[in-house]
Structure 1
Amino acid sequence: MMMFGKISRQLCSLKKIPWSCDSRYFWEWLNTVFNKVDYERLRDVGPDRAASEWLLRCGAKVRYCGHQKWLHDYNTLPGSSIDRYKIQAIDATDSCIMDIGLDHMVGLEHVEKITLCKCHYIEDNCLQRLSQLENLQKSLLELEIIACGNVTDNGIIALRHFRNLKYLFLCDLPGVKDKEYLAQVLKTALPSLDLKLNLK
């Protein structure tokens, strides 16, 4: 794939990395490369195809409208038809998606469910940014945020902007402190929300 050609060239030009602090720096650098938005590619193949490539590259899974099976292997992506495959659900469990890649989601108009589980790079600013995307404000019905250690009350409170959200599951978020207040804010903003909290 063309994207991997670009990544290979970037890998070849890699300078010295401080390996004395283990391989953290390398993986963070590599994950940043995987998240980088190729706006030319986005324009050429459309938002759903470009977002699919980004999500699978980062270890997430996608499910398309009208399909039951989840797609998780980058090499089995369907043909690049712009109109045929629309992302309906995203499972980002154990993926490396991060803030700089979120522009991939700007044009997605059919996403009804997102699962963010053990996403180490998901922070408050990511949730705040996602909640400001008009397309997701309209389409998103279900959201699960589980074991994302960098999420705090500030990120959760931003979720009130998902005006059509019907189901929200929050679990194992040590950075979230005032669950009663958050529940009150979310239920006031979204009266029909089914809110499930499993916070310590």
Structure 2
Amino acid sequence: MRERGTIRCKGGSGSDEPVVVLSESRLILFFLHQKSVMLFARFVHPLLTIQKPSLGGYRHFWSWLNAVFNKVDYERIKDVGPDRAASEWLLRCGARVRYLGLERWQQDYNGLPTGPLGKYKIQAIDATESCIMHRGFDYLDGLEHVQEMKLCKCIYIEDACLERLSKTVNLQRSLLRMEIISCGNVTDRGIIALNKLKSLQYLFLSNLPGLKDKQATLEILRTARPSLQMELDLE
């Protein structure tokens, strides 16, 4: 019986090469240790063309892979601390982070800094065009120093993500600035939930077609958080 959460692949149609079974964890390690996009493409292409899947098949594969990248490893959080574990999750999903006291953004997974446990604290998150999704948001719970967050062109960010984020106690205390840009699945409900971020000082909203009642939504935010500075680029 094939292990749950594994895929089977071989060199291609008619190939005599043995079938290889990869578990989710091994697949992640394989991708993260390849620096060449061509190697990634050479691996994935035969995998997807063996049975000539439909467009839906491709979408299913990428959805599955992104879900794997967002799977929370609670043992890893215990072993290396919340900031390191969250950094690995964010970079694995295509985001980048900046650490407290440092100016340089970290976006290379293989270049994550090493040092004593808890040395590097995440101060800012830029999730532009990343695949972070609600499933991985438990990684945020232990972060105590995040002051800035940018969600831009994140196809998996939806209302449930913003609601979950807004209920995270540490983020309620630390988050000062937030930008939400071109996230098509965000609606009025998700934006209204941001009123729970009691330390938030600045909010930038741009190109959010899911907002259907902008005036009412913004009025709710202004009433709940009168000191919140909002910059809007909404049609």
Which secondary structure does the structure 1 equivalent of 2:106 belong to? coil
Change (3 A) 1:111 1:17: farther
Compute the TM-score of the two structures, normalised by the length of structure 2: 0.78
Q: Is the 8 A contact 1:113 1:141 kept in 2?
A: yes
Does residue 116 of structure 1 match 2:151?
yes
Shift of 1:185: 1.1
Which of 82, 86, 95 does residue 60 from structure 1 map onto? Answer: 95
Compute the TM-score of the two structures, normalised by the length of structure 1: 0.92
Shift of 1:192: 1.1
Partner of residue 94, structure 1 = 129
The number of aligned residues is: 197
Shift of 1:19: 2.1
Partner of residue 211, structure 2 = 176
Aligned-pair Cα RMSD in Å? 2.3
Residue identity opposite 2:147 in structure 1: E
Q: Is the 8 A contact 2:84 2:118 kept in 1?
A: no
Q: Gapped runs of 5+ residues in structure 2?
A: 1-23, 31-42
Partner of residue 154, structure 1 = 189
Change (3 A) 1:181 1:83: same
Partners of 1:68 and 1:153 in 2: CA distance: 34
Q: Which runs of 4+ in 1 moved over 4 A?
A: 14-18
Residue identity opposite 1:175 in structure 2: G
Partners of 1:147 and 1:17 in 2: CA distance: 35
Change (3 A) 1:174 1:43: same
Does residue 5 of structure 1 match 2:26?
yes
Partners of 1:135 and 1:87 in 2: CA distance: 12
Which secondary structure does the structure 2 equivalent of 1:51 belong to? helix
Which of 186, 202, 225 does residue 167 from structure 1 map onto? Answer: 202
Residue identity opposite 2:145 in structure 1: H
Partner of residue 78, structure 1 = 113
Which secondary structure does the structure 2 equivalent of 1:19 belong to? coil
Shift of 1:80: 5.2
Q: Is the 8 A contact 1:48 1:108 kept in 2?
A: yes
Q: Is the 8 A contact 1:45 1:80 kept in 2?
A: no
Partner of residue 21, structure 1 = 55
Shift of 1:17: 8.3
Does residue 46 of structure 1 match 2:67?
no
Partners of 2:107 and 2:156 in 1: CA distance: 20
Partners of 2:157 and 2:52 in 1: CA distance: 24
Shift of 1:177: 1.4
Q: Gapped runs of 5+ residues in structure 1?
A: none
Which of the pair has the greater relative contact order for Cα pairs under 8 Å at 6+ separation? Answer: 1
Which secondary structure does the structure 2 equivalent of 1:95 belong to? coil
Seq. identity, %: 60
Shift of 1:83: 2.0
Partner of residue 9, structure 2 = none
Partners of 1:135 and 1:29 in 2: CA distance: 30
Rg comparison, structure with higher value: 2
Residue identity opposite 2:28 in structure 1: I
Shift of 1:197: 1.5
Partners of 1:124 and 1:53 in 2: CA distance: 24
